[in-house]
Amino acid sequence: MKNYLHRYIVWRKYNFNIAVRKAKRRKICYIFLAPYALLFILFYILPVIISIFYSFSYYNILEPPRYIGLRNYISLILQDDVFLTGVKNTFLIAIITGPLGYIASFIFAWLLNELPRWLRSIAVVVFYAPSIAGNVYVIFSIFFRGDAYGYVNAFLMDLGIIDAPILWLVNPDYMLPICMLVILWMSLGTGFLSFVAGLQGIDKTLYEAGCVDGVKNRWQELWYITLPNMKPMLMFGAVMSITQAFGVCEVTMALCGFPSTDYAARTIVTHLFDYGYARFEMGYASAIATLLFLIMILCNKAIQSLLRRVGT
C-alpha cells in the first residue's frame, strides 16, 4: 500500500514537473489569457463562491456577516411561502417555455433551411428580431390592458366571447399564461441562430446517400441524418434555453409589476431581487442565488445526458 502511494506521488510529481516546464515555455499564453482570466474570475467565479459563502450567514451590509449555519435554507424551504410560489412559477414557466422554445427554435430553423437563400436570410431576421429587440415586449402591456379599450379585451368583446373586460395583468389566473406567451415570442434566440448555422453546415451529399440507402421522407431524414449531425449545436442550444428559462424575471416584472398581485407572477429571480435590493438581506438572497445556481447546473447536466442519446 505504502509502495503504491509512493509511486503515485512520484508519478504526480513527474507530471507536475512536465506541466511546469510546459508552462514556462508557453509563458506568452498566460500573458494573453491573463486579462480575460482575471476579469472572468473576478466577475463570474468569485461571485459564485461568495454567494455560497454568504448563504450560510446573516448579512445586511451594515453589520459584518454572522454565521448562522443552514438557517437560511431551512427558512427558505419550510417557512417562506412566497419563495415556494416563486419556485412553482419558475418551474412552470421553465418547463413549458423552455422545451417549447427549444423545439420551436429547432423546427423553425429546420423549416427555414428549406427556403431559397434570399428568402431564408429575410426569414431569419424576422424570427430572430423579437429576441434582440430589447424592451419591446412592454408593448404587450398595451395589448393586454385591463379596460375595455385594451385591444385584446375589445377584440374578444366584439366577437362576443367575453362580455366584461378582463384584468389580464392583475388577475392571477391570467398572469402566467400571458408571461409565457411573451417569453415564447422572444424564445428564438441564440440557440435558433446556432441551429440555422448548423443546418447549413451539414454535408448535402449525406442526404443523397441517405436517399439511396432508403430514407423515404423528410421525417426519417430528420431523425437519421439531420439530428445526429447537429448534436453539438443541440447541446449549445439547450444550454442557452435552460439558462434563459430559469432566469425569467424581466418579462414578469415589466408586465405584471413588482411585486405582482398576490405574488402570482413571482419567480425565483424576482424573489432574489426583493431580498437583495429591497430588504438588503444579502445572506438570504445569497441562499436563493445558490439554490438557483444548483438548479441551473443540475438541469443542464441532466439535459445534456439526455441529448447524447438523440438519433441513435
- Using the minimum distance from each CB to other proteins, give the nearer residue, 175 or 238: 238
- Using the minimum distance from each CB to other proteins, give the nearer residue, 90 or 175: 90
Chain positions 56 to 115 lying near other proteins, rule: CB under 8 A, are: 108, 111-112, 114-115
Is 118 a residue that touches other proteins (CB under 8 A)? no
* Beta carbon of residue 285, minimum distance to other proteins (angstroms, whole number): 5
Is 19 a residue that touches other proteins (CB under 8 A)? yes
Q: Of 167, 176, 251, 269, which one interacts with other proteins (CB under 8 A)? A: 269
Chain positions 177 to 236 lying near other proteins, rule: CB under 8 A, are: 185, 188, 190, 193-194, 196-198, 200-201, 207-208, 210-212, 215-218, 220-221, 231-233, 235-236
The dihedral through the CA atoms of 110, 115, 118, 122 has a sign that is negative
Q: Near other proteins by CB under 8 A, which window of 6-14, 70-78, 82-90, 288-296?
A: 288-296
- Using the minimum distance from each CB to other proteins, give the nearer residue, 6 or 203: 203
Is 246 a residue that touches other proteins (CB under 8 A)? yes
How many of the chain's residues bind other proteins (CB under 8 A)? 103
* Beta carbon of residue 71, minimum distance to other proteins (angstroms, whole number): 18
